[in-house]
Structure 1
Amino acid sequence: MEYAILGNSQLKISRIGFGCMSLNAGDETSKHIIETAIEKGINFFDTADLYDHGDNEIMLGKVLQQKRKDVIIATKVGNQWRKDGSGWDWNPTKQYILTSVEESLRRLNTDYIDLYQLHGGTIQDPIDETIEAFETLLKQGKIRYYGISSIRPNVISEYVRRSHIVSVMMQYSLLDRRPEETCFPLLKEHNIGVLVRGSLAKGLLVNKPATGYLNYKTSEVAAAAKAVQALTVQGREATQTALQFVLQQPAVTSSVVGIRTLEQLDEAVKTIGTAPLTDTELEKLRNSIPINRYEEHRN
C-alpha cells in the first residue's frame, strides 16, 4: 500500500481508502472485510452519522476498537434524521454539530475523531458559525482535523478562504471531471487534500451496462468505458485503470472506494503496484468523451 499526507494535516492515509457506506452493519462478513482491508494496508475508513441511522458508525467502532491507534477514522455531520425516520434535513448549525459529535464518539467507541467532515453545504449556510463549531471541537481535542464533503465550487472556495479545512471529499472520475476546472487548482494551491468518491462512476467504467450519467448520454458513457477497457495490460484491468486515472491527478490524496465484497477489496488494493498510466494513455482517456463542467453553484 502507498500512503500520503492529507493536506495540511499530519494524517498519513492509504491512497486507497475504505468507504463504509455500502457495508451491512449487522453482517459478520462486513467485519471480516474491514479486518482484511487493514491486513492489506488500508488505514483510512470513512463513514457518516447518516448511514444506517448511525449503525454504520457502531459497526465500524466495534471492528476497529482493538486497532484504534493504527487506523484513521473519518465521519461526517450535518444531515439530521427526522424523528419519524421519513428522511433527513440539512442542519449545519453550531449547536447541532456540537451535539452530534458526542453521539458519533459514543457510537464509534472512541475519544477522538481523526477527520470530522461537514456532510454537504450550501452558500446560504451560516458558514462562520459552522466553522466555529469545528474549531471548538479542535480545541476540545474531540477531533484532530476537519474538512468538508462537497461538490459545490462556491461552497468549497468559502471554506478555503475562511477555515482551516485539511480536506475536501468530492466526486471525481473519467465521467465526472468537473473538479478539474477550478476546484483542483484552488485546493492544490492551498495544500488541501482531495478525497475522491465515485472513482468508478457506479461501476459504469468497469462492469455495469452503459446508461446515462450526469450530462452524458448512454453512447458517451459506453465510449468512456471502452477507452478504459482498451488500456488493459498485464496486471492492470479496468478497475485499476479507472482508479489510476483518479490517483494520478496531482490534487488527489486518496480514492475512497465503496467496498461491499472481498473481491471488490482485492480489485481496489491491486491498483497500488500496477503499472501507472502513461501520458499517452491518460490522453486517450481524456479524449474519449468531452469534458464536463459545473453549471451550478459557481463562484
Structure 2
Amino acid sequence: MKYKQLGKSDLNISEVSFGCMSLQGDEEESIKMLHQALDKGINFFDTADLYDKGQNESVVGRAFKGMREKVVLATKVGNQWRPDGSGWDWNPSKAYILQAVEESLKRLQTDYIDLYQLHGGTIDDPIDETIEAFEQLKEQGKIRHYGISSIRPNVIREYVSRSNIASVMLQYSLLDRRPEEEVLELLQQHQIGVLARGSMAQGLLADKPAKSYLTYTLEEVQQAAEAVKVVAGKTRRASETAVRFVLHHPSVTSAVLGIRTEQQLEDALLAAQAEPLTDAEVRQLQEVLAAGKYEQHR
C-alpha cells in the first residue's frame, strides 16, 4: 500500500481508503471487514454522524477501540437529525458543530478526530463562524485537522481563501471530470488534499449495466466503460483502471471507496496494488468523452 501526505497536514493516509457509509447489516461482519482492511494496509476510514443516525460512527468506534494510533479517523458534521427522525436539516452553525463533535467523539470512542469535515456547505452559510468552530476544536485538541466535503466551486473557493482546510472531499471519475476545470488545480496550488469519492461512477465503470449518468447518455456511458476495458487490457481489471484514473491526478491524495462486502474490500485492495496508468493511457481515456463542467454554484 502506498501512503500520501494529506495536503499540508501531518496525516499520511493510504492511497485507497475505506468509505464506511455503505457498511450495514451484521455489526460483527462489518467490524471484521474493518479489521481486514487495516491488516492489509488501509489506514484511512471515513464516516459521518449522518450515516445510520450515528450508528455508523459507533461501529467504527467499536472496531478500532484499543488500536486508535493505527488508524486515521475522518467524520463529518453539518446535517442535524430532526428529533422525530423524519429527516435532517442543514446546520453549519458554530454552536451545533461544538455540540455535535462531542457526540461523534463518544460514538467513535476516542478523544480526538483526525479529520473533521463539513458535510456540504452553501455560499449563504455563516462561513466565518463555521471556520471559528473548527479552529476552536483544533486548539482544544478535539480534532487534528478539518476539511469540507463539497462539489460546489464557489464554496470550495471561499474555504481555500478563508480557512486552513487540509482537504476537500469531492466526486471525481472518468464520468465526472467536472473538478478538472478549475477545482483540482486550485487545490493543488494551495496544497490542499483531495479525497475522491465515486471513482467507479456507481459501478458503471466496473461492469454494471450502462445507464445515463449526469449529462452523459446511456451510449456515452457505454463508450466510457468500453474505453476503460480497453485500457485495462490483460494487466488490470476495469474497476482497478477506474480507480487508477482518479489517482493519476497529482491533486488526489486518496480514492475513498464505499465498501460493504468482502468482495468490494478485495476489489479495493487490488486497485491499490494495480499498476498506475501511464500519461498516454490517461489521455486515451480522456479523449473518449468531453469533460463536463459545473453548471451551478460557480
Instruction: Show the 5 A alignment for 1:139-158.
Output: 139-158=139-158
Residue of structure 2 in register with 1:274 after alignment: 274
* CA-CA distance at 1:26 after TM superposition: 4.3
State how 1:59-138 maps to structure 2 within 5 Å.
59-138=59-138
SS at the partner of 1:202?
coil
Distance of 2:283 and 2:9 partners within structure 1: 32
Once the two structures are overlaid, the 10-residue window that deviates more, 205-214 or 49-58, is 205-214
Deviation at 1:25, TM superposition (A): 5.9
Match of 1:211, as an amino acid? K
Output the CA distance in 2 between the equivalents of 1:215 and 1:88.
28
**Residue identity matched to 1:147:** G
Alignment partner, residue 233 of structure 2: 233
Q: Gaps spanning 5+ residues in structure 2: where?
A: none
Matched residue type, 2:14: S
In structure 2, the residue matched to 1:166 is 166
Counterparts of 1:274 and 1:92 in 2: how far apart (Å)?
39
CA offsets per residue over residues 103-136 of structure 1, 9 Å max, x none? 0000000000000000000000000000000000
Q: Which runs of 4+ in 1 moved over 6 A?
A: none
- Tell me, yes or no, if the aligned pair for 1:50 and 1:79 is still in contact at 8 Å: yes
Offset at residue 276 of structure 1 (A): 1.7
Shift in Å at residue 5 of structure 1?
0.3
- What's 2:180 paired with? 180
**3-state SS of 1:104 partner:** helix
Distance 1:56 1:225 in 2: 32
Amino acid at match of 1:97: I
Aligned to 2:67, what secondary structure does the other structure show?
Answer: helix
What secondary structure is seen at the aligned counterpart in 2 of 1:210? coil
| AA aligned opposite 1:186 | L
Q: Distance in 2 between matches of 1:250 and 1:108?
A: 31
Q: 2:15, 2:253 within 8 Å by CA — same for their partners in 1? A: yes
CA distance in 2, matches of 1:114, 1:211: 37
Q: Which amino acid aligns with 2:36?
A: T
User: Which 5+ residue runs of structure 1 have no aligned equivalent?
Assistant: none
Separation in structure 2 between the aligned mates of residue 106 and residue 235 of structure 1, nearest angstrom = 45
Q: What's the counterpart of residue 217 of structure 2?
A: 217
SS of equivalent to 1:35: helix
Give the total of aligned pairs.
298
Which digits, 9 at most, give the CA deviation of each residue in 1:76-113, with x for residues without a partner?
00000111111111000000000000000000000000
Q: What TM-score do you get using the length of structure 1 for normalisation?
A: 0.98
Does residue 244 of structure 1 match 2:244? Answer: yes
User: Could you list the per-position Cα deviations for residues 135-170 of structure 1 after superposition, in whole angstroms to 9, with x for gaps in the alignment?
Assistant: 000010000000000000000000000000000000
| Percent identity of equivalent pairs | 61
**What is the Cα deviation at residue 236 of structure 1?**
1.0
TM-align CA RMSD: 0.9
